[in-house]
A and B are shown apart, each in its own frame.
Chain A
Amino acid sequence: MRELSGWGRLPVVEGREDVAEELEPASIGARLSRGLGRSYGDASLPASSADRIVCTRRADRILHFDPASGVLRAEAGLSLQDIHRIFGPRGFASPVLTGTAYVTLGGMVASDVHGKNHHVAGTFGAHVRALRMRVADGRALEVTDESEPDLFRATQGGMGLTGHVLEVEVALERIESPWLVVETRRAEDLDALVDTLSSESRRWPHAAAWVDCTTRGRGMGRGYISLGRYAARSEAPSAPPRLRERVAVPFDLPGWVVAPWSIRVFNTAFHHLHRNTGSRIVSPQPFFHPLDFVRHWNRLYGRRGFAQYQCVLPHSSDGRNVQRFFEVLTRLGGASPVSVLKNCGPEGRGVLSFPMPGISVALDLPFRRGHTQALVDALNEVVIESGGRIYLTKDALTRPEHLRAMEPRLARFQEIRRKWDPDGRLRSALSVRLLGDAA
C-alpha cells in the first residue's frame, strides 16, 4: 500500500500497485492496468484502496519485429524510450511521438496519444494493428478492427476501462535518419500565432507552438512555432544522436516558486530568447520530448501539484474560438508557464479519441485551492460553447455534467463497456469521478 498519483500529483491516493513481469497471470482479477504514470490526473489511479492495479512497466519484452514491414509486437509495458533506443539505430521510429518518451505502449493505446504530427499521421491508434487483451470476464483474446471492432475502437482512448492491454502490435515508421531538420517562427500575438501554425503545418509534418498567455492586451498570445521533419540521409550526420544526460529535480520546490509573477517573468524571457531561424539540424530528443530534459520536473510545482488542462477547439466560422478561450483564461487570472498549441487533423477511430480538426490548447495550472476548480469550470464552459472537448489523459478537475455536455460519444462508449464488462469489474478513479461508476 503506498501513495499513487498521476504526473500532476493531483490527486494523490492510497493504493496497491502490482508490478508484474508476467502480465497474463497478473491481470486476472485486477481492476485496472497502469504504465509509467504520465497521465496527469486520476486516469491511472484506483477507484478505491482495495482495488488491485497492475503496473506494466517491467513487462516490456519484444515478441516480434519484422524489418520488412516495420511491424512490432511487444508486451504492453515497453516504453517509447526503449523503442527509440532499440529501433532508432535500425531506421525505425514510432509513428506518433508524445511530449515525453516515458510512456508505455499500453498507455499510448489507452490515451490514444497524439503528437506534433497529428495533422499528418493521426493518433497512435491509427497505426495499431492488433491488441492482446484480458477482458472483464477473464478471457484473454486477440483484438483487431476485423475481429472485434467495437472493443478495438473503444480501447483506443478508453482509459483502460475496456480491459487490460497485454500486448500491442503497431507499425513503426521507417526513417532515413533520426536527425531532424527544424525551423522556428516567432509570432507577436495570438492571431499571428494561430495563422502561422495553420499555414506552416501544410508544409511541415511536425508542428506545434509555444504560447505566452500571461501578457494581457497587445502581445497576448505571442509565442513561437516549432516546425520539423526528419532529415534525409544526405542532410544529416551519419553518427546517431546521443541521448543526452538529463538533469533531475531532486526535491519538491516550495509551492510559491511557480506563481503568476514568476510565470510572467519566465514567459517574457522565453519569448525574447526565440527568434525566427533558418533550418538547422537537431537531435530528436529535445524536439520531440522536451518534457524529459529535466527528470521529475513535476517537482518544480511543489507538493501542491498542478492541474494540466488540455482541450481541442474546433475551427469556428469567425475563426476566434482560440482567442475567446484565452480571453477567458487571462480574465480569470489563469497563468500557465508552459502553454502549447497544436493544430489537429481528422478524428481517429477511437470511440473517445481526443483530437478533432481544430486547435488543441494544453496548459499547466499550478494548483490553488478554490481558484483552479473555478478556472477549469469556466474554461470547460468555453469548450462546450465552442463544440470542443477535453483530453481525459490530462484531466483531474472536470465535472461530470460538463463532460457529458461536451461528449455525445459517451453513450456509445458506455454501451460498449457494459457489453464487455456487465458487472463493472474494471474501473478507475477517473471512471468513478466522471462516468458514474460505483465508488
Chain B
Amino acid sequence: MGRALARRMAARGDHLFLLGRNSEALARSARDLEARGAPPPVSWARCDLQEPEGFEDALDAADHAQAGFDALVVSAALFATQEELEADPKRRAALLAANFANTVQLCELARVRLLARGGGTLCVFSSVAGDRARKPVVLYGAAKAGLSAYLEGLDHRFRSQGLRSVTVKPGFVRTSMTEGLAAPPFAGDPDAVAARVLRAIDRGDPVVYAPPIWRAVMALVKRLPRAVLRRASF
C-alpha cells in the first residue's frame, strides 16, 4: 500500500523522500518513482521501525533533502499470525515494539518538527484489527489499538496548532503482507486504497477506512456482545 500511495503521489508531481530498511530496495524504488513523475532526485535514508536510535538521523536527512518535509506517511509494520506470536516471545516483543512503541516514538519526533513549522500531516497506517479485539489478531490488534488511540490523541491535542493526524484503517487488502492468506469478502486492492488515502491526506480526514465498507463492518463488530466474540472464530 505504501508503494501504491507513493506512486500516486509521484504521478501528480509531489516531492518525495523515502524511508525504509533495505538500501538497495530504496534506491530502486526511488528510481521507479522518478520515472513515474516525482521530481528528481527522490532521495532516501535507512530507517527501521526496530531501530529507534536511527530515527532522528533519518528525519534529519529528510528535512535536509526537502528543506523541511510537510507530511510523513508511516505505512510499514510487522505482521504475524496470532499462533506465531503466541509461540515465539522474541517475535512477539519485536512486533509489539515496532508496531506500537517505536512507531509512536517516530511520530513524536516528526510531530515536533512539523509543529515547529506551523503544522503538517502525519498519516499512519493502523488497521481495523485495532477497532475491537478478535481471536485471530489479539496481539497484532492490540498494538494497532494502541497506535490508533495515540493518533486520535494527537488529533485532539494538536490539531488546533496545525498538526493533521490521518489514521488509515485498512481492512483486508491484497498485498505482499497478506499473500498466502485466504482473502475474505470486501478484500481491497492496494491502488484503490491508495487513492482513498491520498484524498484523506489532502483533506486532512482524521480517520479513513479502506475499502470504505469496513467502516460499517467494524461499527457492527464493535457492537457485538462479548458472548458472541467469545464463541466466534473471526
Contact = CB atoms under 8 A, between A and B. Distances in A.
A20 B25 CA distance: 12
A75 B35 CA distance: 13
A24 B3 CA distance: 18
Interface in A150-164: none
Nearest to A1: B180
B contact patch SS = helix
A293 interface: no
Contacts of B215: none
Given A62-B36, A86-B36, A21 B31 contact: no
A64 B179 CA distance: 28
Contacts of A62: 31-32, 35-36
A296 interface: no
Contacts of B25: 21-22
B35 A64 contact: yes
A141 interface: no
A297 interface: no
Contacts of B29: 61
Interface string B32-67: 100110000000000000000000000000000000
Contacts of B176: 19-21, 58
Given A19-B179, A58-B176, A63 B36 contact: no
B223 interface: no
Nearest to A55: B179
Contacts of A63: 28, 31-32, 35
B31 A64 contact: yes
Contacts of A21: 3, 25, 176
A19 B181 CA distance: 12
A22 B21 CA distance: 13
A325 interface: no
25 contacts: A19-B176, A19-B179, A20-B176, A21-B3, A21-B25, A21-B176, A22-B22, A24-B24, A58-B176, A61-B28, A61-B29, A61-B31, A61-B32, A62-B31, A62-B32, A62-B36, A63-B28, A63-B32, A63-B35, A64-B31, A64-B35, A65-B35, A75-B28, A86-B35, A86-B36
Interface of A: 19-22, 24, 58, 61-65, 75, 86
